[in-house]
Amino acid sequence: MRADSTFYWAPRAWLGERWQHQVLLEAGANGHWQAICPGVAAPPVGAVVLQGPVMPGMVNAHSHAFQRAFAGLTERREGPHDDFWSWRERMYRVALRITPAQLRAVATHLYVELLRGGYTQVCEFHYLQHQPDGSAYADPLALAWSLVDAAAAAGIGLTLLPVLYERAGFTQPALRDEQRRFATSADSVWAAQRHIAGAARLLVNAGLAIHSLRAAAPASLQRLRTLAEDFDGPIHIHVAEQLQEVDDCVSATTARPVQWLAREGLLDPRWQLVHATHVTPAEIDAVAASGAAAVLCPSTEANLGDGLTDLPRWLASKTPLALGSDSHITRAWCEELRLLEYGQRLALRQRNVGAAPSQGQPATAARLFSHLSGGGAAAAGHRLWGLVPGARADLLVVDTQDHALLGVPDDHLLDALVFSSPGRPWRDVIVAGRFAIADHRHVGADRIGQDFAAAMQTLWAPSGA
């Protein structure tokens, strides 16, 4: 055994879309897997023996960390109508109030929760940029560094996505006053990406994002395209989340949002279309042909009443798909996958919509996990992901003694993880070869929780409610 490596031995591991037994995993000093060897009957001397089956970590491909500060606090309807747009007005109240220190406290607590939920990388769609009055901080990236520091304190990987956000709508060339903290240009977003990437912070990389077609003028999209011509990282955009957004785009451009992106030749394998809820079969086919991907956020799309995307068509098209928790009303990928499948079952009045027995994939959970786990790598800007040599050395150790998993047959473990009752399934979480969660404990959780509670008390004091 190499002296500069750490070796882990697991009784079972999810490799190549199936469980394999007696697996030895070697993590190099660089925090990446050097070798994965099934069929090693006994752990070598010095190997860390993992206390349960092992799975890859999941990428959370879409996060707005500050929105964790009002998860569960917008579930009352005070008037005759409530939808995404009325929810957005309530979101602005937090966005206009939160400080860099409070953002760090909220994000650190969230990122620990995401680790507990089985995520080892989070893509932060970061559009909160300026001081509450809209002026720049002395360091324009003050809020971005709060997120970087939060990820470091939690021990999670971070893909930071500075967001182009310059107007309130297709026919509104300027931002509304309550959007004043979001203002950016193509040049400032590109500069932010370069600065964050150049800082070379551990477990941090940087991509680009456009808030939406309604929030960025075509000329600015073309400018960002020119600046990023040689950039090979991810480019994220909210698209076709709401029917009103689709109708407004048609009125302004004569095309639907995804149709417009395809028509303008913008789509390529770097592009991650977040939500992509209201799309036609032709649009899905155009995305697949371009090599672009979609990021689905089932719990937030349900919470906001967005609607259901055409999951069977996405899967049949072989478009890469990734999973995000967006506004963080849930923070576990098992719950997101369950809701993704259940939404389809309710709409289609069928069971196991995500399965494909004709393709040798009869297990819904396995097919969805494999498809969305693979798509998460590109969304986060990682060339490799999972329990494969060269990928970052992340893994999840299943606690088979969790009440929801007791007595489950070995070959149905992933089915039960997704479709049995929510529990506490991850005993250990390893990121880049180091324990972030060990025996259900995060070393900083108590202090991090106290800081989060203090931030919440200030944010939701009567004067700011």
Q: What is the pLDDT of residues 286-308, one digit of tens each?
A: 999 999 999 999 999 999 999 99
Query: Quick one: pLDDT at residue 156?
Result: 98
What are the start-end ranges of the H helices in 318-360?
333-348
Provide Rg for the chain, Cα atoms.
22
Is 84 in contact with 304 (CB distance < 8 Å)?
yes
**Three-state DSSP class for 8?**
strand
Query: Quick one: pLDDT at residue 1?
Result: 67
Would you give the end-to-end CA distance of the chain in angstroms? Answer: 58
**Distance, CA of 108 to CA of 113 (rounded, Å):** 9
**Distance, CA of 442 to CA of 117 (rounded, Å):** 13
Secondary element (H or E) of residue 157: strand 157-164
Pairing of the two strands 18-27 and 6-15: antiparallel
Is 161 in contact with 62 (CB distance < 8 Å)?
no
What is the set of active-site residues?
275, 326
Query: Quick one: pLDDT at residue 461?
Result: 87
What are the start-end ranges of the H helices in 291-332?
298-303, 311-317
**Domain regions of the chain by residue span:** 6-56+395-445, 58-379
DSSP symbols for 50-75: -SS-EE--EEEEEE-GGGGGGTTSS-
Domain 58-379: CATH class, spelled out: alpha beta
**Distance, CA of 216 to CA of 288 (rounded, Å):** 24
Q: Convert the pLDDT of each residue in 308-318 to its tens digit.
A: 999 999 999 99
pTM (two decimals): 0.97
Q: Convert the pLDDT of each residue in 48-73 to its tens digit.
A: 999 999 999 999 999 999 999 999 88
**Distance, CA of 332 to CA of 343 (rounded, Å):** 17
Instruction: Report DSSP state, residue 448.
Output: H
Site of tokens 């929030």:
215
Site of tokens 């031995």:
9
Residue 159, strand partner residues: 123, 205
Query: Quick one: pLDDT at residue 293?
Result: 98
CB atoms within 10 A of CB 100: 18
pLDDT band at 465 (very low <50, low <70, confident <90, very high): very low
Burial of 152 (0-12, 13-18, 19+ CB in 10 A): middle
Q: Is the pLDDT of residue 84 over 80?
A: no
Nearest to 117 by CA among 68, 165, 59: 59
Is 107 in contact with 68 (CB distance < 8 Å)?
yes
Residue 205, strand partner residues: 159
Mean pLDDT score of the chain: 96
Name every residue whose Cβ is closer than 8 Å to that of residue 107 and which is 6 or more positions away in sequence.
65, 66, 68, 146, 147, 150, 151
Classify domain 6-56+395-445 by CATH architecture: Roll (2.30)
Q: Per-residue pLDDT averaged across 126-144, rounded?
A: 97
Query: Quick one: pLDDT at residue 220?
Result: 98
Token pair listed for 121? 């990388």
- How big is the CA angle at 252 (ends 310 and 164), to the nearest 5 degrees? 75
Q: Per-residue pLDDT averaged across 125-134, rounded?
A: 97
Secondary-structure percent of the chain, ordered helix, strand, coil, rounded to 5? 40, 20, 40
Side chain identity, residue 131: Q
Domains 6-56+395-445 and 58-379 agree in fold: no
What are the start-end ranges of the H helices in 98-241?
100-116, 142-154, 186-199, 218-227
pLDDT band at 464 (very low <50, low <70, confident <90, very high): very low
Query: Quick one: pLDDT at residue 463?
Result: 61
Nearest to 118 by CA among 56, 74, 61, 178: 56
Instruction: Report DSSP state, residue 329.
Output: S
Token pair listed for 144? 């971005």
Residue 209, strand partner residues: 163, 236
